[in-house]
Amino acid sequence: MSYSVLYQDIGIKDYKEASDLQDNLFRKIINRKIALQENNPTDEPAQPGTLFLVEHPHVYTLGKSGSEDNLLIDHIQLQTRDAQFFRTNRGGDITYHGPGQIVGYPIFDLEEIGIGLREYISRLEEAVILTVAAFGIRASRLKDATGVWLDAEKGKRPRKICAIGVRASKYVTMHGFAFNINTDLTYFNYINPCGYTDKGVTSLEKELGGKQDPEKIKLLVKNNLREVFDLKWIN
């Protein structure tokens, strides 16, 4: 049976504000699951899944297993570049979010979908791989590295077009993916992206030689997520 999901494009939003928004919903779903598992009464109504799509002002985020050594500039230099820095509770190391990037935050109950965390990440990757393919670009996974990559074949220097970092508790997810569309890639020069020093980053704009329509790409991403997860949009 399809998994019901509420889709919300929340536009341009500060990272902390968007994080609080998804964290609030994440906790509501978990608290209800715990109450039901313990046979406790709860007034918390059942929640559908939610997909937030958002664009952030310049910000660097560090995962709980990451090292701040992978941020290559100090906090004064961050201010001169109009960028913020946050430690987060997601997996992974450091990444950049900013204008021209589509960030997706799925708050899904994987038990309702019937999959585990590894399969969830694989399906996120597949949705982006399918989206990139619509533009005639071959993307793939890279062994021992999450995300979506170009030139992942042995002997080439892979370039990441979409980063993935998630948090899960009681099979409920938050955080998600960051897909470079018209992203200013120079901001990646100030970090070791995802902790790597031997891999590059790219965007649809760079690969295709011009600005891309983000609304068209959001629709493709939305449709491909629906297909790979068997979702039912309720709005």
DSSP 45: P
User: What are the 10-residue block averages of pLDDT along the chain, 235 residues in total?
Assistant: 95 97 95 87 82 98 92 94 95 95 98 97 98 97 93 84 96 98 97 89 98 98 98 95
Nearest to 142 by CA among 134, 154, 127: 154
Measured distance CA(176)–CA(164) in Å, rounded: 6
Give the CATH number of domain 3-233; options: 3.30.930.10, 3.40.630.30, 3.50.50.60, 3.40.47.10. 3.30.930.10
Claim: this prediction has a pTM higher than 0.85 = yes
Strand 3-12 relative to strand 231-233: parallel, antiparallel, unpaired? parallel
| 3-class DSSP assignment, residue 93 | coil
> What pLDDT, on a 0 to 100 scale, did the predictor assign at position 196?
87
Contact 153, 137 (CB under 8 A): no
Residue 27: what residue type?
A: R
Three state DSSP letters for 125-145: HHHHHHHHHCCCCCCEEECCE
Rg of the chain, C-alpha, whole Å: 18
Q: Which residue has the tokens 């910000």?
A: 59
Q: Where are the domains of the chain?
A: 3-233
Q: Which residues neighbour 65 within 8 Å (Cβ) at sequence distance 6 or greater?
A: 91, 92, 93
pLDDT of residue 156: 81
Q: Which of 44, 24, 51 is nearest to 106 (CA)?
A: 51
Give the span between the Cα atoms of 168 and 60, in whole angstroms.
Answer: 21
The sign of the torsion formed by the CA atoms of 140, 149, 128, 173 equals positive
pLDDT of residue 36: 85
Catalytic residues: 194
Locate 76 and state its tokens: 């004064």
